[in-house]
Each structure stands twice: as C-alpha cells, then as structure tokens.
Chain A
Amino acid sequence: MERTAVRGRLTWQAATVTGLTPETAAVVTITLDPPDWPGHQAGQHLDVRLTAEDGYVAERSYSIASAPGEPLAITVERLEDGEVSPYLTEELRAGDQLELRGPIGGYFVWKPADASPLTLLAGGSGVVPLRAILRDRLRTGSDVPARLLYSARTLPDVIYRDELGQHHDGVAVSYTLTRAQPPGWTGHTGRIDAGLLADAAWPATAKPLAYVCGPTSFVETAAAGLVGLGYPPDRVKTERFGATGGH
C-alpha cells in the first residue's frame, strides 16, 4: 500500500470508459477500465488528459470516487466556464478511450488500519474522495465510527444521496443546505459555522482524524472551526479547489 510513495514514473495509459452514471444535473460518475492500474488508496486522485485533433492538450486532476479494489471511477462536476469537465460530462461516451495516470497524492488518504473516529466534512463535489473513504471503510470491514457533514446548495445538488443514506452501522450522515431547502426539511440550513461543526463533528476528546474537502471558502471555515474545537492541526487533512479553479 505504500507503493505510491516510492514507485517510479507515472505513465499515461488509455482507459476504456465502461459507464457514465448521472449523479445530479451537473455531476456524472465515469467508470474506467485502465489496462494497468496499480491500485490506490481512498482519497487519492488521478490525472486526465484530453487531446484535440490539432494536438492541443488539456490535463486536470480528479479525485478517485471508487474504493480500492472496486472498478476505477471518478465523479466529475460540470463547471460552466470549464474546459475539461464539460467534455467529460457531456461529450464522453461509453466505449471511448480516456487517457489517465495515477494514483497521485499520498497525504489526503485514509488507511483502513487507522482506528481513529472519522470526521468527514464535504463542500459540494468535495464529497467525492470522502465517499471513497466511506466505501473503503465498508469494504474492509473497518469499525471506526464516522460522521459525515455534507454542505450542498440544494437537495438536488447532493451527490450519492441514495448511497449515503444506505450507510448504517457506525456512519452518521448529516446535511446542511445553503441555498434552498425542500418543504419539511429537518436537516441543517446555511453555511457551516462553529455551532454546526460542534454538533456534527466528533469532539476532539475522541481523538478523531478529519478529512475536509471542498471549495476554498468552505475548507477555510471548516478547518479553522475544527482547530477551534481543539483538533490538532495535523489531524485535519484538507483538499481544496478554487471556486473557479478551472476544471
């Protein structure tokens, strides 16, 4: 499992797109069959490369949505001003070839042997690597208790909603809807703040390990909030993407 830290050159390979599953109006999960995937850890990402007919190339990184051992998948949100994400979510078809390399990143990863309770904080499509962690937890039979707080604009923007609702033993999922709530909504509302974090995250006394992923403003607030609750900064792993980061 430590292979990623020492392995040599990450080579590009052409994976076959085996499926595209819409998650929300703007989000698609793409399953991929690469010829030589070395395995990965939950939380890692991979690079995708698109090549135009005239040779122009665009590369982007995407969090891996699948757990280790599952068919490789990424979940991509279409950004209106994006270059790669509109292609992946609207043009790509099953059977197409997609160049990728990975896995990449060895810090924002979860290891099933870690016994720490998990505090998972997701902003928007930042839920993707956290979903991989929850799936890995389930597949490996880990019994660490996990709390996921997921901030989304509206209920229809929630990715993996059905799947997240099916986690039971030891996993508590809560939502906050920042822009609009359906009638009868009993979850949280508004952007995360200290009070919501104190309610949804493990107390620092439980010696939790936190993974925070989302847009910069979300991550800044969430990570600072956890430190405010007494989490040591080195127990708060963050992954950020700019609101208009250009995917």
Chain B
Amino acid sequence: MSPISRGFRGRRRAPAGQEGRLPPGQYLTEDFPVLSAGPTPHTPLADWTFSITQGGATEQSWSWQEFRAVPSEDVTADIHCVTRWSKFDTRWRGVSVDTLLDQAGQDAPYVLAFCDGGYTTNLPIEDVTGGKAWVAFDYDGQPLEPEHGGPARLLVPHLYFWKSAKWVRGLALRDHDAPGFWETYGYHMYGDPWKEQRYAGD
C-alpha cells in the first residue's frame, strides 16, 4: 500500500472516456519526445539496406529502393514510452514485418532487431508477425525524421516504445531469446505496457 503523497492531486489524468487507452503509470502527451543513447546516425539512403539474417547469414536484403517497392500500409496506433509518456493516434506508413519475413521465407521463435549505431532489441516472433509490427518510414505523412529513427524504424506499438527500434537495419532470426541493448541494462525482456513491464523483474 503506497503512502498518500500529502497534497498531491494529479493533473495529467487520462481524458474523460479515454481512460481505457492509457496503460497504468502513463500520461498522455501531444509532443513526440526523443530518447536515445547516442548520437543520431545519418546513413545515406544509397548505403541503406534492410536485412533478414539467420545464424549469421543474410537470407534476404533490400536496398532502400527495393524496400520502398515492397507493398506498404498506413498504420494508426497509440504508442507508450517506458519513460511514461503515451501518444494517441500516431499515424505511420510502413512495410509489415509479415511481408518482409514472407519474402525472406524464413522463420524462428525470436528476433533481434539491429540498427545503425549498434542498438539492438529482442522480440518474440509472435510479437512482430500477425499484423503487429512494421518497418515504418513515414510519420504523419512525412518522411520519418532522423531523430525519430529515420529513414526507417521498427514499429511495434503494443510493446513499450524502446522495442520500436530506431534506425533499424534488419532482423536477426534466433532460436533463443537474448537481451538487446536496454534489456542488458536492466529493462524488461518483453515490455508489455499494460502489465507495466518496465524493468527486469516487473
């Protein structure tokens, strides 16, 4: 039982009628805050590729041009950052991870997303398939800005947003789950915002 914080009333409650959209411990923001562990990388599109790898071998790779030729779709989703902001109805365009995995013709129980700058994050395959994850390249009708992960980032809106890896360059298919970058530093292996899985052990 938490002690009452004398005189605290709270100002950022969920809007009336939308309480059910805000996971526990989150507050709604209209901004789009930026969080990342290092400098923003700027990979020229001519050098950009997206790869599906397995066991160290590249099974499929797309250049930017090839990637943009893959059918894409519009996605509107609520997103939830572990630092406690949530943003409703964010609008993206991206390629479904289902489509990419289908083209690669590969399967495995886990993936590790890898990125420019060395960032990684781990996800079960069920969380990036079945219409739950995209490689997004537009945000709000515009090309995704570098500080928000452009040219392309993973979009997995049902998990805390650190799983939606910025500057994503591919997915490594894996037989076993292994922690990515933040997961190594004490963040939760799965990251379900509805269960408040912020840190290891939550």
Residue in A9, A52, A236, A243 whose beta carbon sits within 8 Å of that of B8 in the complex:
A52
Give the residues in chain B near A216, CB-CB below 8 Å. Answer: 33-34, 147
- Flag the segment in B9-17, B52-60, B88-96, B136-144 that touches A: B9-17
Interface flag for B37 (CB, 8 Å): yes
- Flag the segment in A65-73, A98-106, A144-152, A184-192 that touches B: A98-106
A to B CB contacts below 8 Å, 28 in the list: A4-B186, A5-B184, A7-B186, A10-B201, A10-B202, A14-B3, A51-B8, A52-B4, A52-B10, A56-B10, A83-B10, A87-B7, A87-B8, A91-B6, A96-B5, A104-B186, A104-B199, A105-B185, A105-B186, A220-B147, A234-B38, A234-B118, A237-B38, A242-B33, A242-B85, A245-B33, A245-B85, A246-B31
Beyond known contacts A12-B2, A242-B32, A246-B27: 8 more, CB 8 A cutoff: A50-B8, A51-B2, A51-B5, A52-B5, A83-B27, A216-B147, A236-B39, A245-B83
Q: How distant is the Cα of A39 from the Cα of B120 in the complex, in angstroms?
A: 28
Residue in B4, B10, B38 whose beta carbon sits within 8 Å of that of A58 in the complex:
B10
Give the residues in chain B near A238, CB-CB below 8 Å. Answer: 36-39
The size bracket of the interface on B is 35 or more
Interface flag for B35 (CB, 8 Å): yes
Interface flag for B41 (CB, 8 Å): yes
Q: How distant is the Cα of A107 from the Cα of B181 in the complex, in angstroms?
A: 9
* Contact across chains for A242 and B2 when beta carbons are under 8 A apart: no
Interface flag for B103 (CB, 8 Å): no
- Flag the segment in A27-35, A163-171, A198-206, A223-231 that touches B: A223-231
Output the nearest chain A residue to B5 by Cβ-Cβ distance: A50
Q: How distant is the Cα of A51 from the Cα of B24 in the complex, in angstroms?
A: 13
Q: How distant is the Cα of A49 from the Cα of B8 in the complex, in angstroms?
A: 11
Question: Which of A52, A58, A240: most chain B Cβ within 10 A?
Answer: A58
Give the residues in chain A near B72, CB-CB below 8 Å. Answer: none
Q: How distant is the Cα of A187 from the Cα of B185 in the complex, in angstroms?
A: 38
Output the nearest chain B residue to A231 by Cβ-Cβ distance: B39
Give the residues in chain A near B24, CB-CB below 8 Å. Answer: 57
Q: How distant is the Cα of A57 from the Cα of B149 in the complex, in angstroms?
A: 31
Q: How distant is the Cα of A233 from the Cα of B115 in the complex, in angstroms?
A: 13
Q: How distant is the Cα of A234 from the Cα of B25 in the complex, in angstroms?
A: 32
Residues of B in contact with A (beta carbons under 8 Å apart): 2-13, 24-25, 27, 29, 31-41, 83-85, 117-118, 147, 181-182, 184-186, 199-202
Number of A-B residue pairs having CB atoms within 8 Å of each other in the complex:
131
Q: How distant is the Cα of A58 from the Cα of B41 in the complex, in angstroms?
A: 34
Give the residues in chain B near A7, CB-CB below 8 Å. Answer: 186, 200
Chain A interface, DSSP helix/strand/loop, else mixed: mixed
Give the residues in chain A near B38, CB-CB below 8 Å. Answer: 223, 233-234, 236-238
Instruction: Kindly supply a per-residue 1/0 record for chain A positions 105-126, scoring 1 wherever the CB is within 8 Å of any chain B CB and 0 otherwise.
Output: 1111000000000000000000
* Contact across chains for A50 and B37 when beta carbons are under 8 A apart: no
Give the residues in chain B near A10, CB-CB below 8 Å. Answer: 186, 199-202
Question: Which of A98, A236, A238, A241: most chain B Cβ within 10 A?
Answer: A238
* Contact across chains for B25 and A244 when beta carbons are under 8 A apart: no
Instruction: Kindly supply a per-residue 1/0 record for chain A positions 56-84, scoring 1 wherever the CB is within 8 Å of any chain B CB and 0 otherwise.
Output: 11111100000000000000000000010
Question: Which of B12, B41, B117, B202: most chain A Cβ within 10 A?
Answer: B12
Q: How distant is the Cα of A242 from the Cα of B39 in the complex, in angstroms?
A: 16
Output the nearest chain A residue to B179 by Cβ-Cβ distance: A5
Query: Given the interface contacts A9-B200, A9-B201, A56-B13, does A51 sit within 8 Å of B4 by beta carbon?
Result: yes
Give the residues in chain B near A233, CB-CB below 8 Å. Answer: 38-39, 41, 117-118
* Contact across chains for B84 and A220 when beta carbons are under 8 A apart: no
Distance of A83 from chain B, by nearest CB (Å): 5
Distance of B122 from chain A, by nearest CB (Å): 16
Q: How distant is the Cα of A59 from the Cα of B25 in the complex, in angstroms?
A: 6
Interface flag for A53 (CB, 8 Å): yes
Distance of A54 from chain B, by nearest CB (Å): 9
